[in-house]
Amino acid sequence: WAARTSTTRSSTSPRWRRTYLAPCYQEADGHPADALTVLAELLGGGESSRLYKSLVIEKKLATAAGAAYSGMRDSGSFILYAEPRPGVTVAEIEAAVIDEVAGFLREGAAPEEVSRVERRLQASAVYSRDSLAGPPRIIGAALAMGRSLAEIEAWPKRIVAVTPRQVTDVARAVINDKTAVTAVLLPERKP
């Protein structure tokens, strides 16, 4: 799983995941990738994200829910995921995720939530520089994706330049069932 959650995963619970094809950082000077980064954080980047608040806190259907974006060198992916609580079926969790995302696609990104996410991403970039492992990991990953040091340095400024309209547009372009693969990981059955 390529996203953060605040819960411990149990090997006795099923897991649902849907992966969409997405632009990579090499496309269009990284603009779709920057908007996808904001979208992933907005939909599923922790306890204040839309999916977590809806499925885990409010509806109590899931123990984990989120989104992630990976814009590797030649291809990208946008991922939605959830782990149902005991007694909740995979079909129910899938329907809840789809319903929440459909609402977002209808309404679009609100300026205040995009601004909140951008501040959080900027703070994360600053904090990551405070550790010994952070900068080499960030630089290594970015260089492996074909990014330059100048692009790495400009990332926080590019993130705050992302508009709510860009986030909405990229969500509507990428979250498309024609480019999606759904996976369900079931717990191991005991003999």
pLDDT tens digit string along 44-80?
998 999 999 999 999 999 999 999 998 866 678 999 9
Tens-digit pLDDT profile for residues 92-141: 999 999 999 999 999 999 999 999 999 888 777 665 666 677 667 667 77
In terms of Cβ atoms closer than 10 Å to its own Cβ (0-12, 13-18, 19+), residue 183 is: exposed
Q: What angle do CA 147, 150, 153 make, to 5 degrees?
A: 100
User: pTM for this structure?
Assistant: 0.83
